[in-house]
Structure 1
Amino acid sequence: MSERIEALTEQLGEIGADAIYIVDEINVRYLTGFSGDSSSLLVTPSGAVMLSDGRYKEQLDEECPGLPYEIKSPSQRADEFVAGVLSGSGAAKIAIESNCMTVASFNAIKSKLDGIEWVDTSDIVLRQRMIKDTEEIEVLRSSIRINERALQSVLAKLGPDWTEMEVAYELESTIRRLGATGFSFNPIIGAGPGGAKPHYSPDHTVIGDHPTLLVDWGTNLGGYASDLTRCFHFGNPPAKFESAYQAVLDSQLAAIEAIRPGASARDVDQAARLVLKKAGLDEYFVHGLGHGVGLQIHESPRLSGVSEDILQPGMVITVEPGVYFEGEFGIRIEDDVLVTDEGNEVLSGFPKGLADCHLIL
């Protein structure tokens, strides 16, 4: 973890700051490995110090050995405690995460510190998190494997009388039995018309009452999130299902082929849209192509028509084109893809051919 803090300190000169105060709990975890909450981090050229309270002293010793920390006493106000630590650092220019800190908390700290110049920054750690190191990539691989194994297990026992919510419950239970924390987001289990809503919540709809099923699910393992989507049909699907499914699959494969270091995220998004446009389905693709995954299910970079991101080795991104027919069904195919030095590696291997999506209940 010290390498991540060191990489952050090297950027202080670029933003014109003597120190940076990290309040986003995900960023604190990324930099230190601390999995608790209610804690922040002050980073200076000479190192870092954690700001926490007595509830987490033992946890800090276990998870962050060697990392200095300051513990707030029960009688101290939070703003006074933070102001004291910041003042004691001797920093004259302190950067803050302006997208995470509330105006109220900032003003409370600021009022107790005279002569400090505040530097506004919002994405310095987020940019660092975009590039995954070897350890992060291996955790993501394991998260994806559990995700895939869990769905395979559930599909093997699926029955026509199962509801969408029962599928979700069984999927989460299996994920936990396989050693993960649970879902990385609330899953989308959409039978028939439910699958036509890109951010649908499963309910008591019986899956056997509809010919199609969309499953968008993810696993949280060691704090890291995987994110996959597959679609299935039972018996005879709607007449346009097969042609639309193949178009979405071709769209995804075209986008994956375009992923390489130096590629524009906008161009990758466009590669997918061109395939769907040729199939006459572009109007049914109503969201961006994908996003980064890591400690959060949605991270930078973004794959969309307005993204300014450039792909770099170490980025892990989703590629998830989809088409949605209101009141009928939806089709989305999603994989997690690593940008490599040579091009890309699809980290997920769950079958996705047209023949693979036929289920017998």
Structure 2
Amino acid sequence: MFEAIEVMPAGELVRRHAACRSLLARFAPDAGGLAVFSRLAIYYLTGTFGNGVLWLPVEGEPVLMVRKGMERARMESPLSRVVPFRSYSDIPGLCREAGSPLTEVAAAEMNGLSWSLSGLLTSKLKDVRFVPGDMVLARAQAVKSPWELNKTRLCGARHAKALTELLPGRIRPGMSEREVSHSVWEVFFELGHPGMLRMGAHGEEIFLGHVAAGDSGNYPSVFNGPLGLRGEHPAIPFMGYAGQVWRKGQPLSVDCGFALEGYNTDKTQVYWAGPRSSVPDEVASAHAFCMDVQAWTAERLKPEVSPAEIWAHCSDWAVREGFDAGFMGLGGNKVPFLGHGIGLVIDAWPVLAKGFDEPFEEGMVMAVEPKMGIAGVGMVGVENTFEVTASGGVCLTGGGSFDMIAVE
């Protein structure tokens, strides 16, 4: 007999199902339920990384239909209705037999299926009209429960220890970006990182994160973030390049996420090759501005403030201080946001950007990443993960100083 490593508390699932049902009434009022297809979203609503389909009706019990891994799903999930299936055409009958029939209108996790599979689904279920349900999942996942926050806080504490306590003693000027990347992996694995980070945007990938020495910080990037990097290879533009060496008088930007039991935190730590006294004024002032932006933003991570307000203020602030050219990326690397939600994926809802006008909710977790590209130098700045509370953001990835760490 096998035992599950962890069984998600039944009360946790009840809370998540209730949140989705409430959001369905707002974003898909005609839908009688939500159909979920991606394994990560299935995990969020069942407690198991299921290979199949979940039907969450507005009324009645959810039904998890599994293609493979039935025994595991039944061990790990508190759901009472877990059934095998082979084809999308089986879905109506299975849901009906489970007492939670499929409805004429159903919200669907449209990002959870490829174009070809969505065509197959709709051809098999011609009597069902599907409407978008992705915003339901995004908003439900944005507000963390105490169970989720406990995991995220532990993740953040280990993240901070790795980048501020352990890594500085293992890197030195003269190492290549690739060697630094391997040192990051060493300390991460020592502290329990499982080796996987997840992105939510379609087609987006990540492996460890970005390690950028000197002008790599401004190297053209296809990743939707401000920090440039050469990466391992054009086919794998992550981690760091073996041919780029971190030299004295250069910054080293390490923007690498940490994961623990499915949850992620994001943090960027900048290191300086040489004594603190050798940092040029231009570099020091740019980094200080980023720390000030992070501090100002953290104070406003509370329910009455909206992400759009923060972005508008900080982007105007950069213009007034003369930092607009490099703020949030240099040239083509510039991005129109200051941070993002984070949880089961790195790039979660909401975004600190124009158009995100709804105020924060207590229990959200946000990555705040003010960065500054400096031509001919590289990139400096900070990133940390914060919990939204009634009195402002609480940093989960370290405290005290967020300055560059000098390594000689």
> TM over 0.5: same fold?
yes
Q: Say which is worse superposed, 86-95 or 148-157, in terms of deviation.
A: 86-95
1:56, CA displacement in angstroms?
A: 0.9
Alignment of 1:333 with 2:371, yes or no, is no
Counterparts of residues 304-343 of structure 1 (less than 5 Å)? 304-343=353-392
Which among 20, 23, 30 is matched to residue 44 of structure 2?
A: 30
Match in the other structure for 2:282: 240
Which among 130, 140, 150 is matched to residue 118 of structure 1?
A: 130
1:61, CA displacement in angstroms?
A: 1.9
1:82, CA displacement in angstroms?
A: 3.3
Q: Secondary structure at the match of 2:124?
A: coil
- Give the TM-score of the pair, scaled to structure 2: 0.80
Match in the other structure for 1:214: 253
Q: Secondary structure at the match of 1:294?
A: coil
Match in the other structure for 1:150: 162
Partners of 2:355 and 2:32 in 1: how far apart? 34
Assess, with a 3 A threshold, how the Cα gap between structure 1 residues 114 and 239 changes in structure 2: closer, same or farther: closer
Assess, with a 3 A threshold, how the Cα gap between structure 1 residues 66 and 159 changes in structure 2: closer, same or farther: same
Amino acid at match of 2:170: K
Which among 88, 94, 98 is matched to residue 79 of structure 1?
A: 88
Match in the other structure for 2:10: none
1:124, CA displacement in angstroms?
A: 0.8
Partners of 1:322 and 1:114 in 2: how far apart? 49
Match in the other structure for 2:33: 19
Partners of 1:274 and 1:90 in 2: how far apart? 50
Gaps of 5+ in 2: 1-12, 198-205, 220-226, 232-239, 328-333
Partners of 1:5 and 1:272 in 2: how far apart? 36
Which among 114, 117, 126 is matched to residue 102 of structure 1?
A: 114
Do the aligned residues in 1 keep the contact of 2:290 with 2:372 (CA within 8 Å)? Answer: yes
Match in the other structure for 1:176: 189
Counterparts of residues 272-351 of structure 1 (less than 5 Å)? 272-285=314-327, 286-287=334-335, 288-351=337-400
Partners of 1:312 and 1:12 in 2: how far apart? 18
Of all paired residues, the percent bearing the same amino acid is: 23
Partners of 2:22 and 2:353 in 1: how far apart? 31
Q: Secondary structure at the match of 1:343?
A: coil
Amino acid at match of 2:282: K
Q: Secondary structure at the match of 2:44?
A: helix
Q: Say which is worse superposed, 90-99 or 60-69, in terms of deviation.
A: 90-99
Amino acid at match of 1:105: L
Q: Secondary structure at the match of 1:348?
A: coil
1:199, CA displacement in angstroms?
A: 3.8
Assess, with a 3 A threshold, how the Cα gap between structure 1 residues 199 and 192 changes in structure 2: closer, same or farther: closer
1:159, CA displacement in angstroms?
A: 2.4
Q: Secondary structure at the match of 1:142?
A: helix
Assess, with a 3 A threshold, how the Cα gap between structure 1 residues 116 and 246 changes in structure 2: closer, same or farther: closer
Alignment of 1:359 with 2:406, yes or no, is yes
Assess, with a 3 A threshold, how the Cα gap between structure 1 residues 65 and 325 changes in structure 2: closer, same or farther: same
Which among 187, 196, 219 is matched to residue 218 of structure 2?
A: 196
Do the aligned residues in 1 keep the contact of 2:34 with 2:133 (CA within 8 Å)? Answer: no
Partners of 1:136 and 1:147 in 2: how far apart? 16
Counterparts of residues 250-265 of structure 1 (less than 5 Å)? 250-265=292-307
Do the aligned residues in 2 keep the contact of 1:5 with 1:47 (CA within 8 Å)? Answer: no
Amino acid at match of 2:172: G
1:111, CA displacement in angstroms?
A: 2.9
Partners of 2:364 and 2:148 in 1: how far apart? 11
Do the aligned residues in 1 keep the contact of 2:47 with 2:78 (CA within 8 Å)? Answer: no
Q: Secondary structure at the match of 2:138?
A: helix
Amino acid at match of 1:172: W
Assess, with a 3 A threshold, how the Cα gap between structure 1 residues 114 and 165 changes in structure 2: closer, same or farther: closer
Q: Secondary structure at the match of 1:203?
A: coil
Amino acid at match of 1:157: R
Q: Say which is worse superposed, 251-260 or 293-302, in terms of deviation.
A: 251-260
Do the aligned residues in 2 keep the contact of 1:339 with 1:345 (CA within 8 Å)? Answer: yes
Q: Secondary structure at the match of 1:39?
A: strand
Alignment of 1:249 with 2:291, yes or no, is yes
Assess, with a 3 A threshold, how the Cα gap between structure 1 residues 350 and 343 changes in structure 2: closer, same or farther: closer
1:86, CA displacement in angstroms?
A: 4.9
Partners of 2:185 and 2:129 in 1: how far apart? 48
Do the aligned residues in 1 keep the contact of 2:172 with 2:273 (CA within 8 Å)? Answer: no
Partners of 1:283 and 1:276 in 2: how far apart? 9
What is the root-mean-square deviation of aligned Cα atoms in Å? 2.2
Do the aligned residues in 2 keep the contact of 1:140 with 1:225 (CA within 8 Å)? Answer: yes
Q: Secondary structure at the match of 1:266?
A: helix
1:343, CA displacement in angstroms?
A: 2.5
Partners of 2:175 and 2:19 in 1: how far apart? 50
- Give the TM-score of the pair, scaled to structure 1: 0.90
Do the aligned residues in 2 keep the contact of 1:175 with 1:183 (CA within 8 Å)? Answer: no
Match in the other structure for 1:46: 60
Amino acid at match of 1:169: H
Partners of 1:307 and 1:223 in 2: how far apart? 26
